[in-house]
Amino acid sequence: MIFVIAEHKDNKLRPITSELLVFGQRVARDFGQPLTAVLLGSNTAGLAAELKSDKIDRILQAEHADLAEYNPDSYVHVLQSILSRDKPFLVLMGHTTQGMDFAPRLAVRLRRPLIAGCVEYEKQGDRLILTRQIFNAKMNMKTSVRGEPPYLATASPGAFPSDEVESGNAEVAMFPVELTEAPKRKVLSRVEAPRGQMDLSSAPIIVSGGRGLKLKENFKLIFELAEAIGGSVGASRPVVDAEWLPREYQIGSSGQTVSPRLYIAVGISGAIQHLVGMQTSRCIVAINKDSEAPIFKVAHYGIVDDLFKVVPALTKIFKQLRQA
Amino acid sequence: MKVISCIKPVPDPASRLIINEAKTWIKDQELTFVASEADNYALEEALRLKEKHGGEVVVLSLGGEEAARVLRSGLAMGADRAIHLLDPKFKGSDEFAAAAALARAIQKDGSADLVLAGVQSDDLGTGMTGTMMAEFLGWAHATVVVGVEVQPDNKSLRAQRELEGGINETVELTLPAVLTIQFGINHPRYASLKGIMAAKKKEFKAWSAADLELPDNAIGRAGATYDVTEVLFPERKSRVEIISGTPEEAAANLVEKLRKEAKVI
C-alpha cells in the first residue's frame, strides 16, 4: 500500500495534497500497489467528498475533536496506530511547515527511514530510489532506504504537477481514533505576518536581487536597472533576512508569489522556496556567475558572468532605449 | 535556564563543490568548514535567552576537526562551554543516527531546558535532525521558529512559527523543548577579539560513542536508515538559452532577444 497523508487547512485541501496524490498514484502504478489517502481532522466529510473523484483505492478518515487543529503529538500518535495496523510500503507527506513538523517525529517513533524533500523517484528492480536535493538544490542525492517498510518520504512543493491527478472513484472508510494524552503543544493564534503595502502580484516587470550582490549598498544596481526598464524591485529571502530590504520585497514561499511578463533574477541561486514564488513568470532571465545555479533550470535566457559587469551594461542599454 | 545550541559544520558556501569518485558525497578533504548558517541564528537566540533569563549556553556538535572549529567559534560568540561528539564511529551518520547521538549527549549532560538548532542545514538541508532529537528525548518541539518568549514560570514558552503564505502561528510548549530556528529571527553577532581570547579558557569536552553508551549498530553508517546510491548535478531539463560574449555583448544580445524573440519589452 502507498499512503498519502492529505494536508488541509480551514476545511480546504492544500495544493500539496494534489502533488502528493500524483506522486502516490505514480508509485502505486509502478509498484502495483493500492493507494490510500489519509485524512486527519475533526470533521473530514467535506474533504473526503472532494477526494472521492480521484483515483484512490481508499480514503481513510481519522476523526477526533483533538484533531480539529493540527498538532504534532496527536498526528504522530494517530498515524503510528494507522501505520502499525495497515503496514504500508510507502507513506508520503508534504515537505511543508506542517509535514516537516511531524514526519521526523513519526520516523523516530517507528524507527523507520524518512527521506525528506523528494523531487523524483525511480524503480530499480523492486527497489525504490528516492531523489532529493542537497546543497540548496545545487545537487541531487539518490537514496535507497534500509530495512523493512514502511518507508517515509516528504515531497518538495512544486516537484510533482498538481494538475495531473488521475480521476476515479474512491472507497471511504473510518479509522477509530483513540487519543488519551494531552498534546505538549497547542496553538494560541494564527495571524498574518506584518508586511508592507507593496504588492508585486500584478507587476508586469520585476527585477529581483539576491545574495550575489554581496552588500546592501550594491542593491542600488537593482534599483537602477528596474528604473531604466520601468519595472518593480523584488528580492530573495537572504537579502531580506540580512535587512538589505524590508520583508515586503521578498518573493518566494514565505513572501509574495509573482507571475510577471518579465522576471530578471540577478545573483539569485534559485532555492526551491524562491522558485515556487516566480517560476510561472512568462519570461525569466537569470544573471549569475555560477552556471550550476538552479535558477537556470527555470530561466528562458541566462547570462553566466559577473553581475557587477552585466547589470550596469544592461541598465545603460535600457536608458538609451528610453531616450531614443 | 540552560540552553543547548546545536551547530553543524558545513563547507563554506563560497566553496566549489566537487563530487567524489564513488559519487556518494562531495570531496570534502580540502574544504573549509563553517557553521551552517541557520545554526548561527539559533546560537544568537540562545545567547539572547541567557542574557534575558540567566543560566548557561552550551554548544554541541558532531564531527571531526571541522566540528571542533565551529564549536570554538560558538564559544567566541559567547557560549559558556562546548561538547564535541568525536569518534570515527560517528562517520557516515544520517540525520537519524546524528539525532540519536545528539539526543543522548543532551541527556548525558543533563538538565537542559531548551535545545535550539537551525531550521535546516546548508548541506543535506532536510530540516529533520532537530525534530528527530525532540522525539528521541520525548520533549515538545516547534519548527520554523521566528520568535521565542519564555513564560515567567520557566515551565513553558511561546514560539512563533512561520507558516506558508505569510502566516505566523503562535504555539505554547511545555519545557523542556526543542526549537528549530528560522533564518532572519535575529542578527547573529560576530565574535569579538575579547571573545576569541576568552574562548580559549572555556570548558571543551569531547565525548566518544562509548561515553554516550550507544551500541555500534545505532551510530554512524551502521545506524543510518538509508544508503546514498548516487550524488549528481541534476540534469538540465531546462529550456534556458545561455547568452555568451563579453558582458556588454551579452547584455545587448539579451535586450535584442527580449524585444524581438520573447516580445516582453
Q: Dihedral through CA B71, CA B76, CA B77, CA B80, nearest 10?
A: 70
- Measured in whole angstroms, how far is the alpha carbon of residue A222 from the centre of its chain? 27
Q: What is the distance in angstroms between the Cα of B185 and the nearest Cα belonging to chain A? A: 8
CATH superfamily of B2-223: HUPs (3.40.50.620)
CB contact under 8 A, B247 and A243: no
Q: Domain map of chain B by residue range?
A: 2-223, 234-265
Mutate to test the interface with B, among A96, A143, A272 (most CBs of B within 10 A): A143
Please name each of the domains of chain A with its CATH number: 2-175 (3.40.50.620), 205-323 (3.40.50.1220)
CA B234, B237, B240: angle at the middle one, nearest 5? 110
User: Which chain B residue is nearest to residue A321, measuring alpha carbons?
Assistant: B255
CB contact under 8 A, A303 and B95: no
Residues of chain A positioned with their CB less than 8 A from the CB of B123: 134-135
Q: Which of residues 9-48 of B touch A (CB under 8 A)?
A: 17, 19, 26
Place A254 in a pLDDT band, splitting at 50, 70 and 90.
confident
**In whole numbers, what is the pLDDT of chain A averaged over residues?**
94
pLDDT digits (tens, 9 = 90+) for A49-59: 999 999 999 99
pLDDT digits (tens, 9 = 90+) for A104-117: 999 999 999 999 99
Q: What is the distance in angstroms between the Cα of A268 and the nearest Cα belonging to chain B? A: 14
Kindly report the number of other CB atoms within 10 A of residue A225's CB atom: 24
CA B190, B193, B195: angle at the middle one, nearest 5? 70
Q: Which of residues 185-204 of B touch A (CB under 8 A)?
A: 187
Q: Which of residues 54-93 of B touch A (CB under 8 A)?
A: none
Question: A117, A156 in Cβ contact below 8 A?
Answer: yes
pLDDT tens-digit profile, chain B (265 residues): 999 999 999 999 888 899 999 999 999 888 999 999 999 999 999 999 999 999 999 999 999 999 999 999 999 999 999 999 999 999 999 999 999 999 999 999 999 999 999 999 999 998 999 999 999 999 999 999 999 999 998 899 999 999 987 789 999 999 999 999 999 899 999 999 999 999 999 999 999 999 999 999 999 999 999 999 999 988 766 689 999 999 999 999 999 999 999 888 8
Residues of chain A positioned with their CB less than 8 A from the CB of B95: 104, 114, 116
Pick from B126, B225, B232: CB nearest A140: B232
Cis peptide before A15 (omega within 30 of 0): no
Q: What is the DSSP letter of B17?
A: P
